[in-house]
Amino acid sequence: AQTVTQSQPEMSVQEAETVTLSCTYDTSESDYYLFWYKQPPSRQMILVIRQEAYKQQNATENRFSVNFQKAAKSFSLKISDSQLGDAAMYFCAYRSPNTGTASKLTFGTGTRLQVTL
């Protein structure tokens, strides 16, 4: 079974600075998908970014980018030019391409990000 580990329960960053959230995972599959979800105080689950394991290029979405190291099974999220609205819980998630599991996402335990002035 796959596991996802987020070793940083809480992180803090100053506004306009850059922060990196860590995520490691364990799998025996060669193809899979990795995601970062943001959960603000409203508790809504918002997809931030996703990465296909077969792509070597790191995904980027505006101020959000990932550092995907497949051999090391590492998938960190970098937030540049942090804004107050980035304050939230961030979850790293893994999904197998096996449709028999109906798209199950395996989540990490989350990292709570604080953004200070």
Partner 1 sequence: EAQVTQNPRYLITVTGKKLTVTCSQNMNHEYMSWYRQDPGLGLRQIYYSMNVEVTDKGDVPEGYKVSRKEKRNFPLILESPSPNQTSLYFCASRPFEPGLSGNTIYFGEGSWLTVV
Q: Does 109 bind partner 1 (CB under 8 A)?
A: yes
Residue 61 is a binding residue for partner 1 (CB under 8 A): no
Sequence-ordered list of residues with C-beta below 8 angstroms from that of 65, at least 6 positions apart, any chain = 49, 58, 59, 77, 78, 80
Q: How many residues make up the chain in this entry?
A: 117
Q: Among 8, 11, 27, 52, indicate the residue that binds partner 1 (CB under 8 A).
A: 52
- Residue among 71, 72, 102, 117 that touches partner 1 (CB under 8 A): 102
For residue 65 the two structure tokens come to 């980018």
CB of 1 to partner 1, least distance (A): 9
User: Cα dihedral sign for 66, 50, 23, 109?
Assistant: positive
- Please report whether residue 25 would count as binding partner 1 according to CB under 8 A: no
Q: Are 23 and 92 in contact (CB under 8 A)?
A: yes
Residues that bind partner 1 (CB under 8 A): 4, 31, 33, 42-45, 47, 50, 52, 54, 91, 93, 95, 97, 99-105, 107-110
